[in-house]
Amino acid sequence: MKDNFSDQSDFYAKFRPTLPIELFDYIIELTPERELAWDCGTGNGQSAYILSNFFRQVKATDISENQLKNAVQKSNIHYSKQAAEQTDFEDGSFDLIMVSQAAHWFDFDRFFKEAKRVLKPDGIIAIAGYDLPRLSPEINELIQRLYKEILDGFWDDERQHIDNHYQNIPFPFEEIKIPDFHIHDEWKPEHLQGYLNSWSGLRHFIREKNYNPLDEMQSEFDAAWGENKTHKVIFPVFSRIGRKQG
């Protein structure tokens, strides 16, 4: 698993969206018990915090120390620095494994083997992510240009799994189809800039080119934003949900 987010953990904690509570409600209803959940690739603990309201205890792991330092704290969340593919958890201990916008960084074969080892019989695994944000047509066009043209060649190969909505990865579980969900929010201009600055592809660009392309696009973003103080933003959400058989 790559650590692409330690150097922008502050951006990640402030500006990355949280998966919708409706998605968590749906997933949690599928779990046979609500004793122990594993939030794998927890980042700043956004999903761990939500899960902690439903489960007696949440184990949350990440390989980034800086992300874990920025993680939200709660008495029933236990954070640890561990790779997704190899943990010190006991066999058959988890009712739910949750992975939010992180599974594309994993070694799939090794992670799913580990997931099967630590899941209880009939336990649920849920990997979920979100697509690019949708605001106005003018802003969307600038985001697409930044994403597909300016940052072309600066994204890690793993990013393709997000573009393909995780449909091209192996998923050795009894799959459960669930409805489509969306993240809804309202952003000020600085929130959009903060979110874009959290992109791993943008950080790769800055390290190689020694400048931030967003600086050159600022006037275009300002014009596209217009006179509105805020814009509604929608992130389409995608997921793969499965159950461990037997």
The residue extents of the domains of the chain are: 6-134+157-185+235-243
Integer Cα distance of 182 and 223 in angstroms? 27
Q: How many other C-beta atoms can be found within 10 angstroms of the C-beta atom of residue 100?
A: 27
Integer Cα distance of 169 and 109 in angstroms? 10
At 162, is the secondary structure helix, strand, or coil? helix
Task: Please state the separation of Cα 77 from the chain's center in Å.
Answer: 18
At 42, is the secondary structure helix, strand, or coil? coil
The whole-number pLDDT of residue 12 equals 56
The whole-number pLDDT of residue 15 equals 84
Contact 4, 156 (CB under 8 A): yes
At 228, is the secondary structure helix, strand, or coil? coil
Class of domain 6-134+157-185+235-243: alpha beta
Structure tokens at 105: 């960084």
The whole-number pLDDT of residue 11 equals 59
Integer Cα distance of 34 and 94 in angstroms? 9
Structure tokens at 93: 């201990």
pTM across the whole model = 0.90
Three-point CA angle 183, 188, 194, nearest 5°: 80
pLDDT averaged per 10 residues, the chain (length 246)? 49 80 96 96 94 98 91 96 97 97 94 97 97 97 98 95 94 95 96 94 96 97 96 97 92
